[in-house]
Copies of this chain bind each other. A is one copy, B any other.
Amino acid sequence: MKVSIIGGTGDQGLGLALRFAMSGEDVIIGSRDIKKAENAVDVIKNMLGKEEIDNLTPMTNPDAAAVGDIVVLTVPLQAQMVTLKSIKDEVEGKIFVDATVPLETCLGGKPTRYVDLWEGSAVERSAEFLKDQNVKVVSAFNNISAASLTNIPEDVQCDCLISGDDPEAKKAVMELAEKIPGVKSIDCGALENARIVEKITAMLINLNIRNKVKLAGIRITGL
């Protein structure tokens, strides 16, 4: 299973690439700029204290999208649409995971506030844009902080809330998420439920700021 991280040089993408590479997945780090992707691979090698990692490859975003079985988008909201346009033709028929969160920072505002999107959520915006590509769109990884992903060797103390309308694609992403030590996947039902999940990120950032920490996360109890 090849996992491509589009925007893999940002904090969240780099953290996911790190954890998936550690779990033995074939990971492709995508970036607009191949040099940035190569640099991200070097950063991860450095974090792991390894000279070589044979399951981690740098590519441009379109090349990364073309080779991935699961394509994960991890960009700020203001870069979501331009990035989608650059990979649209490459994701036909694939599992596409959107981790975008609609934070007010996209408008020069606060990371503790969300913005309302016409489609309801950032992932539904992707789904609308890709609706003619036969893409199986899944929402995941929104609430897991970059800081906890890069906080190796500690487990991640956060559940992964996953929404999507294609049961098989959702199952594949739930299995992928649980390759991160400490993460439990929670099936949140239809894609539209990401409207709630994406907003939780703003609350967790708020709790991080209020408590001067970086690892705030959530667990679902009682299931």
Contacts and interface: CB of A to CB of B under 8 A. Distances in A.
A212 to B, nearest CB: 10
Given A187-B210, A206-B189, A218 B215 contact: no
A199 interface: yes
Contacts of A193: 112, 203, 206
Nearest to A214: B222
Contact of A203 (B114, B197, B217, B219): B197
Given A188-B206, A189-B112, A203-B196, A218 B220 contact: yes
Nearest to A208: B222
A193 B206 CA distance: 9
* Copies of this chain: 2
In the A-B complex, the 7 residue pairs with the smallest Cβ-Cβ separation, listed nearest first, are A215-B222, A157-B221, A217-B221, A219-B219, A196-B203, A216-B222, A196-B199
A202 interface: yes
A45 B192 CA distance: 42
Contact of A219 (B113, B148, B221): B221
Interface of A: 112-114, 116, 148, 157-158, 161, 186-189, 192-193, 195-197, 199-200, 202-204, 206-207, 210-211, 213-223
A101 to B, nearest CB: 12
Contacts of A222: 148, 157-158, 213-217
Contacts of A113: 192
B206 A215 contact: no
